[in-house]
Copies of this chain bind each other. A is one copy, B any other.
Amino acid sequence: MDLDPATLAVAVAQGDRRALARAITLVESAREDHRDRAEALLAALPERETALRLGLSGTPGAGKSTLIEVLGMQLTGQGRRVAVLAVDPSSQRFGGSILGDKTRMERLSREPLAFIRPSPAGGQLGGVARRTREAVRLCEAAGFDLVIVETVGVGQSETMVAEMTDIFAMVLAPHGGDDLQGVKRGVMEAADLILVNKADRDPAAAAHTQGDYAAALRLMRKRPQDPEGFPCVLTVSALTGTGLREAWAAVERLWLWRRDQGHLARRRAEQRLLWFEEEFVQQALARLHRDPRLASTLRAEVEAGRLSPPEAARRALEA
């Protein structure tokens, strides 16, 4: 962490993976002096926004990690550079999952053309969004062709990931025929691809699940940013590799179509506006916390119940 931002920026831009890892650690840091250096680093990076940004969510047990690993191995085998960023929206206070993280994607993590970054320890949703966006920016500056942002399917984090990627895919295991209940309508609406994994185990169940989701998608409104045949539901098997090439071909076809039709540029413009608002919030909060007078007076009044929180907020903003 003792490299100066300009030097680190040069090393990142040269595709140095160790420098990239250090740069992400810097943007993840909660320390105030690190934040200043992180911003200097980001400002010093070349503007490179040519990567395909793929959001990927999946319920626990759907086989998301295996799928990313196998897909990543295929793509790096073709000479492409693949970065994988994990998002865990659990707050500081509420910690991670009770079982903790297993070691994941062992093969891909040894592959020189790949870069895998697990979720950091925690933080608020707004902070998680900020550092993930910045990590995506760093990976793009480092020359990765594909940046996968993956998350577990717990609602709020899927929204966040869909709002910072070009294409959003959901990975599901075949179900027993009893539900689409677990999947929120809005997540369905954001999905460009649904991958029904583990098709090797029970092809009939996978086909049945595929049919159910395809029917559910047909009930939704046609979106201008979709070519014929999208959103789509595909069956795959991360274990045997079946269907993965087709799935990737669908992702690429969709991305190129959107790029050529101008939808990609529009989506990214909208996402930049959202990022702007999120940054505004984060920076406003940082200023509030840095102001010692506000900290000592308004907070004390609120804490003691002598001033209502909305009124205190109003005074803080006027100040």
A93 to B187, alpha carbons, bound, how many Å? 9
Is A76 engaged at the interface, CB distance under 8 Å to the other chain? no
A278 to B304, alpha carbons, bound, how many Å? 18
* A276: nearest chain-B partner, CB-CB: B309
Contact indicator per residue, chain A 291-317, by CB within 8 Å of chain B (1) or not (0): 000000011001111001111111011
Looking at the complex, which one of B96, B125, B216, B309 makes contact with A272 (CB distance below 8 Å)? B309
* Number of A interface residues in the complex (CB < 8 A): 65
* A280: nearest chain-B partner, CB-CB: B313
Q: Once the chains bind, are A310 and B39 in contact (CB under 8 Å)?
A: yes
Is A103 engaged at the interface, CB distance under 8 Å to the other chain? no
Contact indicator per residue, chain A 108-128, by CB within 8 Å of chain B (1) or not (0): 000000000000000001000
Is A281 engaged at the interface, CB distance under 8 Å to the other chain? yes
A278 to B284, alpha carbons, bound, how many Å? 11
A88 to B104, alpha carbons, bound, how many Å? 33
A96 to B282, alpha carbons, bound, how many Å? 27
Looking at the complex, which one of B180, B190, B308 makes contact with A94 (CB distance below 8 Å)? B190
Which residues of B sit under 8 angstroms from A284, Cβ to Cβ? 280-281, 284, 317
Chain A stretch 204-259: residues in CB contact (< 8 A) with chain B: 216
| Known A98-B188, A180-B98: A312·B155 in contact at CB below 8 Å | no
* A294: nearest chain-B partner, CB-CB: B280
Which residues of B sit under 8 angstroms from A281, Cβ to Cβ? 281, 284-285
Is A29 engaged at the interface, CB distance under 8 Å to the other chain? no
| Known A285-B277, A288-B280, A308-B42: A184·B313 in contact at CB below 8 Å | no
Which residues of B sit under 8 angstroms from A308, Cβ to Cβ? 42-43
Chain A stretch 1-27: residues in CB contact (< 8 A) with chain B: none
Q: Once the chains bind, are A314 and B155 in contact (CB under 8 Å)?
A: no
Q: Once the chains bind, are A89 and B155 in contact (CB under 8 Å)?
A: yes
A93 to B163, alpha carbons, bound, how many Å? 11
Q: Once the chains bind, are B156 and A303 in contact (CB under 8 Å)?
A: no
6 additional contacts (CB under 8 A) given A273-B309, A277-B288 = A43-B308, A49-B305, A94-B184, A94-B187, A125-B125, A280-B284
Chain A positions within 8 Å of B, measured between CB atoms, are 39, 42-43, 49, 60, 89-91, 93-99, 125, 154-156, 158-159, 180-181, 183-190, 216, 268-270, 272-273, 275-285, 287-288, 298-299, 302-305, 308-314, 316-317
Please list 7 pairs of residues, one from A and one from B, whose beta carbons are closer than 8 Å in the complex, sorted by A's number: A90-B155, A91-B156, A94-B184, A95-B185, A98-B183, A276-B313, A280-B317
Closest 6 CB pairs of A and B: A94-B186, A279-B313, A95-B186, A275-B309, A276-B309, A280-B313
